[in-house]
Amino acid sequence: MTQDSAASTPESTTAPKKAGKRIQVRKSGVHGKGVFSTVKLKKGEVLIEYIGEVISWKEALRRHPHDPKDPDHTFYFHVDDKHVIDAKYGGNAARWINHACTPNCEADEIDGRIFIKALRSIPPDTELFYDYGLIIDEPYTKKLKKQFECRCGTKGCRGTMLAPKKRG
């Protein structure tokens, strides 16, 4: 997740009213459902806001897992150290955007809201991706990396949806 330097939500950052006509949810070749462009999207364009119920991390942990048969699949989006968006409740199409290690979109947090925007021009009928950059505070073992396996197949694929550990 990137941090925008704006102090307030700029008007250009609000999700467009015609979002349903520019993107749509379809079956993904990468994983389950995905979100696809229906028209050419411009670099820097805000595509959709990631919405859902804003809850505390304590509540997110209480709710986990959403599906005991697939405990690592959630619709949680980390906002900050105190808040998470649970798109299982009140979520929109943004919850179906899949991960890629070399994404064509990014997530921007502005004043506690998450906006998905295009990193480059995106042609019609292209699946949208952003890098989930999942952070887990335990050592990255082969088993853990497999648990959060990436299926993006991009040239820069690191094999996992986990964020690279920072060396310090």
Distance CA 25, CA 108 (A): 21
Contact 135, 163 (CB under 8 A): yes
Tens-place pLDDT, residues 36-75: 999 999 999 999 999 999 999 999 999 988 788 887 788 9
Tens-place pLDDT, residues 111-155: 999 999 999 999 999 999 999 999 888 999 999 999 999 999 988
Nearest to 49 by CA among 72, 28, 79: 79
- Reduced to 3 states (helix: H, G, I; strand: E, B; else coil), residue 53 is strand
Distance CA 62, CA 40 (A): 41
